[in-house]
Structure 1
Amino acid sequence: MSPDGSWAIFIDQYNLYVHSLNEHPTRQYPLTFDGMKHYSYGVVPKSPEQFMISQHFSLPVKPIGIWSPNSKLFLTHLLDERDCQEIHLLQTVPEHQIKNNNSVEAHPTKVFSYRYPMVDANIRFVELYIFNTESRRKTRIQLLNQLSSLPEIIFNSNNIQWHQNSQQMCIVDK
């Protein structure tokens, strides 16, 4: 939710939407239209553990990013994993697992698949974007080099800071 409580960002079908919380009735506006499977905005690349937890509990995908102090701008990223190799995990549980109440429960074998950049193969590409919630425009941030840190590291630390005037920011990528 934005700092002033007037906006919320969410992901639907690999695209970002902004939800206006001050309008009655509330309205949703698309911010992107080009998202697709393995090419999405605001998503965290999943580790095997994160992937299995999100699959098992059917958790909604929440975008990561940083709001400007004036609540008009939202910084997030586009993650391109289309050229990454798909990895498969096999979950096996004994055919008959004893539960706490001594009843027997059968567990089928499950396969979980996720994308991962292999050594000497194509890597994930991350581009940073600023979204204006009022004009619904996106602006790509031109960086000198490809980000070396993964989005969850950048956004979940103090590596990106907005200036109080909401016109400048500092990005540290090391």
Structure 2
Amino acid sequence: MPKNKDKEIKTNVMRILDGWSVDYRYYTYECGEFIDALHTARSLNQPPEKLYKTLVTEGAPRQYYVFVIPIAMELDLKKAARVVGTKSLAMIPVKDINFVTGYIRGGCTSIGMKKKYPTVIDSSANHRKSIIVSGGRIGLQIELAPEDLLRVTSAQFADVVAGTISVGEMEKSQSGE
């Protein structure tokens, strides 16, 4: 259920956005542990195309790069490597997410990571009035203008996705078909 800004549940992400005078809206939903992004979209009653996930990759040892892409898309590691100017990239292991970012799986966002890593937002976001990204913890999502996310994270827009996975395909893969 959407809520307006409210002092009771301020997260670090919200404090950072407030510090930058960014207009945002937050949504909370019941979720004991992260299931998947499609579940999040359904819980928020939002179209999956509006939700973006945050992926963290590693180039050379300890050289991390952050990518914000639509939940129904896959990161094209070759395109992404070219954009950030490195030879190759690999996804970091899930077990390393907290160590590298300060966030946990399902609550990872490009805003307010432990360190500021080079960040790329898929160019598809540039055509949207707003997108929804993690608010820094499971059960909290933030809706904001892509340009504001770009500004706060010192990111760039670039085409870094491999292709679309339809919502139907996402549902099949989750049901084990």
**What's the TM-score, normalizing by structure 2?**
0.25
The structure with more radius of gyration? 1
- Larger strand proportion of the pair: 1
Decide which structure has greater helix share: 2
Which of structures 1 and 2 has the larger relative contact order (alpha carbons within 8 angstroms, sep 6+)? Answer: 2
